[in-house]
Structure 1
Amino acid sequence: MRVLISALFIIAGFYCSAQQKDLTTALYETYETYKEPLLQTRRIKHKDLQPLIEKYKANGKFKVSKVGTSIEGRSLSLISIGEGETDVFLWSQMHGDEPTATQAIFDIFNFFNSDDFTLEKQEILADCTLHFLPMLNPDGAEVFQRRNRLGIDINRDALRLQSPEGQTLKRVRDSLDADFGFNLHDQSTYYNAERTEKPATISYLAPAYNYEKEINEKRGNAMKVIVFMNNIIQNYAPGQVGRYNDDFEPRAFGDNIQKWGTSTILIESGGYYNDVEKQEIRKLNYVSILSAIYTIAKENYKDIAIAAYEEIPENDRKLFDFKVENVTYPLLGKDYILDIGMNRLEVDKKGHNDFWYSSRILDQGDLSTYYGYETLDATGYTITPGKVYPKVQTSFEALASLDIPTLLKSGYAYVRVENIPSGKLASPFPIHIIGKKYEVPDFSIEVGLNPTFLLKKGGHITHAIINGFLIDLNSDKKTNFKNAMIYR
């Protein structure tokens, strides 16, 4: 009889696993059906969410309530759905410039508001009540910055509770006494999975609740759910998952919410190749969070071994946007071999709705333990400074008639323009624009400088690096170039 019971448990386990896999696959394949079309870029603001929140306020499936107000007076909304005994609390955009999961939350709302996945939704909502606080720091989101209007990091305000946003988070957590909490963030795109060239597209943490990093049942459950989510992400971004260091931070909300009795799961959305607006990562959030909620409802996470949590590679920070390897750099009559790592730094435009790039050399020398989203092996290539094109252009519009690839091949990286419109912040052409009196500084490869130079091989210029973007002058292939610089 015991053998029969064991066999039945094994069969049931295989069935649940297969059912979960089928759901995850279906969620991924049908995602575009539920993706919220009003949210398409990272720089979303409080006003962008209000029509959507109002829509769900009028929908009987959802309960919408105002639970607080930001320093500048913007409302903080809690949106709930479900009738189950297990309370799951998800909060996003505690940091104003971390909106990837906020978008995914509204995709999840569309999922629950649809007529599809009827059985799975019934199972979730019968066993769980889900509570979402989509934007905790709307003042920071308004200017696309990490901190709130007081200038503090809300995620370090769990003890003093001096910010109204932190007070709201604590009050909501306590009122729900949530069983599970999802602390949703974005992290730097320059994190990689330890000792690999792969970006940490998603990173996880089950925060410690004391300095000893003990594992009780609540923290253990968070670890199990993370292992489950990691297995999902591996299907779509293999090797691109990291794990945060779990040193206890007594001021942090995640660590304290874990201590207060909620199984807390930190999710950080990092980088993904050629996904500047993080829309693929948004999709991975949608799929993995919904799948995790389903496994919480079914309680099959309990069978997962905690030991697998430690097998997730730790986060490292050894990625550049672009890395040039083994390039020859002539300096003071001698040739040196360098690796050069450069990042494209975003500069917000007025209104904080868009940005342009001002790139910098971040490091140089032996960068053999570092990686790039894009890497060029420049063995045999020599760095050549870019020159100023001698013919002055009378207007910005005149630039459109120039054959810029030919200029680059001829060694020019700068074009002088008499009248540069005051509203122009960056060059849309793959060549720098300079004012009629601007003097280009003496050339140097140096940390902190804008990465602009040409590469020569066999006596011919073959590549240009303009504002940290690689342009292959022998290829018509489209590049990811966004802008060069304007120096007035």
Structure 2
Amino acid sequence: MMENTQQQSKPLGRYFTYQEFEDQFLPIVQSLPQDTYTFSYLGSSVQNRSIYGLQIGHGKLKILAWSQMHGNESTSTRALLDLLQSTDLDQIIKGVSLYIIPVLNPDGLEDWTRVNANGVDLNRDALELSQPESLILKDALDFFEPDLALNLHGQRTFYGLNNSVLPAQLSFLTPSGDSNKQVTDSRLQSMSLINAVVEQLSSSMGAGIGRYDDGYNPNCWGDHCQSLGIPTVLFEAGHSGDDYSRDQVKGFYLESLKIVISTAKRNMTWSDDTETKYFNIPEIHKSYCDILIRNLSSSCKSVDLAVMYHEQLIEGQLCFIPMIFAINEPSILYGHRTIDLTSHKTYNDDLVISEDMEVSSDSLKIRSFIK
């Protein structure tokens, strides 16, 4: 066992290998006071990478959180590591037993893919339980019997908020537990927690927060938990501006975790206006692109090009490659970066679109980059 001190290391970036995750996570665990946690090996992924469980705190309220069920959604894991290193962690977990499964899909993390090594979306495997990673989560649910489940995800950059110019930096959902989308007690409990995040975070930090669609899919883990009567909050890390490292959003995510845990341990009930407040949170819509190029001259007319970055792992580095996503698409209203060529004085007519739809322009500073 290592000494009960933690050596400071460079924070994980948007992409990291599983070995890099372990090199950060294991010392963090060993730096925790020994009487506050239980650490365990839960099993292995398809490609034989270890999956861990960490229970911290001994309080009555039991909260289960899992991250990176989708391997290319790393903000959730980074926020969990920050939570474990927070100076106010003792206060946050007072009265709580917090059980964390960081990186449920280590093979997907390694290859920066949504699916696991067998090509299966683990968030569509709650009933079939065809994958070893799914069985690990099922065993954790059965063993821990949580009072609250936190299903931690990330989303793409094309989401904005309905009837707003704001991009969705965070999105939340209380999943449905049945095909009729009934508002049950467990849904009301998780709605009240989401409302607390919106009320505190949007006012104090100015985050753009949206509500995810609650269509029912029994194969999804959040819907499955809700069908069992477990209040469930689904988190989605979004995007704004040039935050492709997701560092700003990671800060919002961390604060959201703290708010949900702190609110849950104070009160897991709801008020008469809980449902109304929740459904007043703006829904997310695919109204954004990474770069919106307006008024590009083409065949004697002007067109608007929507460009999205394709995230691709090349020689161990996460590359963002600008690709044509849509042309004159009316649903795309905004860009995280907008270029209007009618008023862009430095444009030198050097926009190049390759056969595979990759876009580049030196004068507009459109090119691939690494994060």
Aligned residue identity for 1:341: A
Helix, strand or coil at the partner of 1:140:
helix
The CA distance in 2 between the partners of 1:312 and 1:80, in whole Å, is: 32
The CA distance in 1 between the partners of 2:208 and 2:156, in whole Å, is: 14
Deviation per CA, 1:422-481, whole angstroms, max 9, x where unpaired?
Answer: xxxxxxxxxxxxxxxxxxxxx8x799633346xxxxxxxxx8346x45xxxxxxxxxxx7
Does the Cα contact within 8 Å between 2:40 and 2:52 map onto a contact in 1?
Answer: yes
The CA distance in 2 between the partners of 1:65 and 1:168, in whole Å, is: 12
2:62 aligned to which of 73, 87, 90: 87
1:339 and 2:304 are equivalent in the alignment = yes
> In the alignment, which residue of structure 2 is the partner of 1:349?
314
> In the alignment, which residue of structure 2 is the partner of 1:71?
46
Aligned residue identity for 1:91: W
Aligned residue identity for 1:106: L
Aligned residue identity for 1:343: M
Report 1:393-432 matches (<5 A). Answer: none
Percentage of matched positions with identical amino acids: 26
Q: Structure 2: which 5+ residue stretches go unaligned?
A: 1-5
> In the alignment, which residue of structure 2 is the partner of 1:309?
278
Helix, strand or coil at the partner of 1:464:
coil
Report 1:182-221 matches (<5 A). Answer: 182-221=150-189
Report 1:111-150 matches (<5 A). Answer: 111=86, 114=87, 116=88, 120-121=91-92, 124-125=93-94, 127-150=95-118
Aligned residue identity for 1:482: F
> In the alignment, which residue of structure 2 is the partner of 1:416?
none
1:363 and 2:335 are equivalent in the alignment = no
> In the alignment, which residue of structure 2 is the partner of 1:323?
292
Does the Cα contact within 8 Å between 1:338 and 1:366 map onto a contact in 2?
Answer: no
2:12 aligned to which of 34, 37, 40: 40
Q: How far 1:162 sits from its partner (Å)?
A: 0.9
> In the alignment, which residue of structure 2 is the partner of 1:283?
251
> In the alignment, which residue of structure 1 is the partner of 2:202?
234
Does the Cα contact within 8 Å between 1:57 and 1:63 map onto a contact in 2?
Answer: no
Helix, strand or coil at the partner of 1:225:
helix
1:268 and 2:236 are equivalent in the alignment = yes
Helix, strand or coil at the partner of 2:258:
helix
The CA distance in 2 between the partners of 1:366 and 1:299, in whole Å, is: 45
Helix, strand or coil at the partner of 1:215:
coil
Cα 1:198–1:219, aligned 2, differ >3 Å: closer, same or farther? same
Aligned residue identity for 1:175: F
Question: CA RMSD for the aligned pairs?
Answer: 2.7
> In the alignment, which residue of structure 2 is the partner of 1:464?
363
Q: How far 1:295 sits from its partner (Å)?
A: 1.0
Helix, strand or coil at the partner of 2:359:
coil
The CA distance in 1 between the partners of 2:334 and 2:111, in whole Å, is: 31
The CA distance in 2 between the partners of 1:217 and 1:41, in whole Å, is: 39
- More deviation, 37-46/184-193: 37-46
Pair member with larger Rg: 1
Q: Structure 1: which 5+ residue stretches go unaligned?
A: 1-33, 383-404, 414-442, 454-462, 470-480, 484-488
Q: How far 1:261 sits from its partner (Å)?
A: 2.2
TM-score by length of 2: 0.88
The CA distance in 2 between the partners of 1:88 and 1:280, in whole Å, is: 25
> In the alignment, which residue of structure 1 is the partner of 2:336?
373
Cα 1:80–1:239, aligned 2, differ >3 Å: closer, same or farther? closer
Helix, strand or coil at the partner of 1:104:
helix
The CA distance in 1 between the partners of 2:207 and 2:355, in whole Å, is: 30
Cα 1:210–1:144, aligned 2, differ >3 Å: closer, same or farther? same
The CA distance in 2 between the partners of 1:380 and 1:283, in whole Å, is: 35
Does the Cα contact within 8 Å between 2:154 and 2:237 map onto a contact in 1?
Answer: yes
Report 1:443-462 matches (<5 A). Answer: 449-452=357-360
Does the Cα contact within 8 Å between 2:291 and 2:337 map onto a contact in 1?
Answer: yes
Does the Cα contact within 8 Å between 1:179 and 1:261 map onto a contact in 2?
Answer: no
- More deviation, 288-297/232-241: 232-241
Helix, strand or coil at the partner of 2:192:
helix
Report 1:378-397 matches (<5 A). Answer: 378-379=341-342
Deviation per CA, 1:99-158, whole angstroms, max 9, x where unpaired?
Answer: 1010111111112xx4x576x34xx42x21111111100111111111101110000111
Cα 1:77–1:338, aligned 2, differ >3 Å: closer, same or farther? same
Q: How far 1:249 sits from its partner (Å)?
A: 0.3
Cα 1:412–1:94, aligned 2, differ >3 Å: closer, same or farther? closer
Helix, strand or coil at the partner of 1:274:
coil
1:173 and 2:141 are equivalent in the alignment = yes
TM-score by length of 1: 0.68
The CA distance in 2 between the partners of 1:377 and 1:314, in whole Å, is: 28
The CA distance in 1 between the partners of 2:180 and 2:334, in whole Å, is: 34
Cα 1:42–1:412, aligned 2, differ >3 Å: closer, same or farther? closer
Aligned residue identity for 2:74: P
The CA distance in 1 between the partners of 2:329 and 2:25, in whole Å, is: 51
> In the alignment, which residue of structure 2 is the partner of 1:96?
71
Q: How far 1:311 sits from its partner (Å)?
A: 0.5
Q: How far 1:270 sits from its partner (Å)?
A: 1.2
1:255 aligned to which of 213, 223, 238: 223
1:49 aligned to which of 21, 31, 44: 21
The CA distance in 2 between the partners of 1:350 and 1:446, in whole Å, is: 22
